[in-house]
Amino acid sequence: MNDLQKLIEALIFSAEQAISISEIQSVLFTYSGEEISLEAIQEHVDALKLKYEQDDFVFEVVKSGGGYQFLTKPAFHKPISTLLQHRARRKLSVAALECLSIIAYSQPITKTEIEQIRGVNCDHTIQKLLERELIKIAGRAELPGKPLLYSTTQYFMDYFGINALDELPKLREFEQKDASSIGDPGDIMVTLEEHAQGTTIIASYDERRDDAQNEQYETNKETGSEEHDSEEQKEIPETDS
């Protein structure tokens, strides 16, 4: 096939998400009817990686999420991150990051288990993570009522620039959940580095009571509903005697 390397380069460049060697092979076969070996495709991809390692280019071919894609080089992450911040319409909230972190490190996990760890209702947050395709329904647990199990998606790995779950950052402290520890997250710290965009997202939870307020605020903002805070959460102004 003529210009095979250019065709592979065009496929990697135009793919919205990382494209695997096997997917490139399938697309090329559909396009030309010619069977190209995986080894040959890998050689061309490796050649492209070497080509774009040169200083003349501001981007490179990076393996991410089990496939390959064009990403800007680390030296340009900060200005691009600034641009993305200017244009970003929606960001993951602290509540969403905490919920996503729990799922990532404990998957598959039920909604009840997530709520026991966080101490607040997670219906709204889980729905938003499903809509953004960062998590998926992974089946049902062998428990009374057969509750749904949640796990991360392939897009989650691509979003955070990792190829496998074992590449997730190690927690400073993470104890296996049991009857005595559920509902008491302690001061677990979760750090997820978004290598592709050069930004670091940190989610921390140490039994903060304002989590429920933040999550309720997000729900009210989207639904347009107005709910009053409980009297326990209101500040009582001091009065002069």
174-204 pLDDT tens trace: 454 443 444 433 333 334 434 334 333 333 3
Structural domains in the chain, CATH included, are 4-72 (1.10.10.10), 94-223 (1.10.10.10)
The structure's pTM equals 0.43
Choose among 112, 158, 111: nearest CA to 134: 158
Question: DSSP of 199-222, one letter per residue?
Answer: EEEEEE-SS-THHHHHHHHHHHHH
Per-residue pLDDT, 116:
93
C-alpha to C-alpha distance for 54 and 199, rounded to whole angstroms:
24
Please say whether the beta carbons of 188 and 68 come within 8 A.
no
Identity of the residue numbered 202: I
Residue stretches of the chain with pLDDT short of 70: 1, 87-90, 172-241
So what's the pLDDT on residue 233? Answer: 43
Cis peptide before 169 (omega within 30 of 0): no
Query: Quick count: other Cβ atoms within 10 Å of Cβ 55?
Result: 7
Find all residues with CB under 8 Å of 161, minimum gap 6, and list them: 62, 64, 65, 193, 194, 195, 196, 197
pLDDT (0 to 100) of residue 162: 84
> What is the number of alpha carbons within 13 Å of residue 171 lying toward its C-beta?
18
Write down the pLDDT at residue 216.
54
State the pLDDT at residue 90.
Answer: 61
pLDDT at 218: 52
CA 233 to chain centre: 32
